[in-house]
Amino acid sequence: MTFEVLSLFPDAFSGFLNTSIIARAGEKKLLQVKLTDYRRFSLNKHHKVDDYPYGGFPGMVIQAQPIYSALTEILEEGNAPVVYFTPQGRPLTHKILESYTFYKRIILLCGHYKEIDQRVRDLCVSDEISLGDYVLSGGEIPAIAFIDGVSRLLPGVLSDLESANSDSFSNKGLGFPCYTRPEIFLGLSVPEVLLSGNHKEVMNWALEQGKHLTETRRPDLKN
């Protein structure tokens, strides 16, 4: 899979792309992330990309032209969904991440400042996604979250795909508590059922724990 990322700050991705699971997936050619700084598409001699909003509102808005020009060039390589990250988008969920695993190529558009010009959204964007009910300075952090969330669902990215299948939200609920060695830490013991070797009882425990956490912390997931 290829992620085409349009950002004013492509350096923000360097640490993420060169670390842990994503770095190994890149080395194995399971995914590729291409970074494009759309500032270089600006027709302004100073490569300015933002301006004051019409209507006298506060803040700065990124102009349509640099983004449109960058997207036009990238889409010449073939059609792909264009995802724009904005607080106005639909909340990102596990189900949405799963739906994007079927694409071979995804274009991710990172805004900055107050917003991007609505016209480029109307012309080019196929999906708008929000990371949550809060505002960030730009779309880079949501894009990183999106890449990470989609990538770990791809075959071969995780050494054990069953690990992803047992995570929170994979079964419309929260996951279960996890324990590892030592068996006792500061007087707190691992639940006996996890030491029993009885797979059926272990799975029942995991299901009940996940159900309890979902009911007490995220009852909305049951709807």
pLDDT at 159 (0 to 100): 80
pLDDT at 160 over 90: no
CATH code of the domain made up of 2-151: 3.40.1280.10
Please state the rounded mean pLDDT for residues 122-150.
Answer: 97
Same fold, 2-151 and 166-222: no
Residue 171 CB partners (closer than 8 Å, separation 6+): 210
21 three-state secondary structure: helix
pTM (2 decimals)?
A: 0.90
CA distance 46 to 42: 8
Residue 112 CB partners (closer than 8 Å, separation 6+): 8, 9, 50, 62, 137, 138, 139
pLDDT at 112 over 70: yes
CA distance 66 to 68: 6
pLDDT at 168 (0 to 100): 62
pLDDT at 162 (0 to 100): 65
Please state the rounded mean pLDDT for residues 88-98.
Answer: 96
Q: Indicate the Cα dihedral angle 20, 22, 28, 29, nearest 10°.
A: -160
pLDDT at 163 over 80: no
Annotated domain spans of the chain = 2-151, 166-222
Strands (E), 81-187: 82-91, 105-110, 115-116, 127-130, 184-185
17 φ, ψ to 5°?
-75, -20
Tens-place pLDDT, residues 2-19: 999 999 999 999 999 999
pLDDT at 150 over 90: yes
CATH code of the domain made up of 166-222: 1.10.1270.20
